[in-house]
Amino acid sequence: MLKPEKQSLRCGAALVEMALILPLLILLFLICVDFGRFATVHVAVTNAAREGANFGGTHSFTDATYELWKSKMGDAITEEMQGVPAFSEEELTIDEPTVLASDQRARVQVKVSYVFRPAVAWPAIPRELTIVRTAEMPVIR
């Protein structure tokens, strides 16, 4: 059994070690949270672009129905983004969809952008990161 003085020294040493390690653990935790948030938003933007292109490829339009088609494509993209925590529709940008014609088959191309803001202002990372994803699907109808 240790003498009370030695027990007190061990508790003091553990306290000093904890004081040195705790800031690093908190930093690591915050890095993981921000990276996880970024990965979630990146996947959501990718899926939203894919969903918009999928809608465009499976729903035909004419010159008279183009605006309605484009609006419903935007609705499909926005609905896909609803799963993002703290989603802001103002940060979402949907470029004009493009219908690409080729010798073989027409394709719909959709470009979606979303502004991601890290929870912590990191020194080497910009305060705003724009995630841009483009998806292309063949027109099947």
pLDDT at 84: 92
Model confidence band, residue 16 (pLDDT cutoffs 50, 70, 90): confident
**pLDDT of residue 2 exceeding 60:** no
Give long-range contacts, CB 8 A cutoff, 24+ apart: 113-116: 113/45, 114/41, 114/44, 114/45, 114/48, 114/81, 114/84, 115/91, 116/37, 116/38, 116/41
- Give pTM, 2 decimals: 0.83
From residue 139, give the alpha-carbon distance in Å to each of 5, 24, 67, 81.
80, 52, 17, 23
Percent of the residues in the chain that have a pLDDT greater than 90, as a whole number: 68
pLDDT at 140: 86
d(CA 121, CA 141): 47
**pLDDT of residue 28 exceeding 60:** yes
pLDDT at 10: 72
pLDDT at 13: 80
pLDDT at 6: 61
Model confidence band, residue 54 (pLDDT cutoffs 50, 70, 90): very high
pLDDT at 76: 96
d(CA 48, CA 91): 14
Q: φ, ψ for residue 92 (rounded to 5)? A: -90, 130
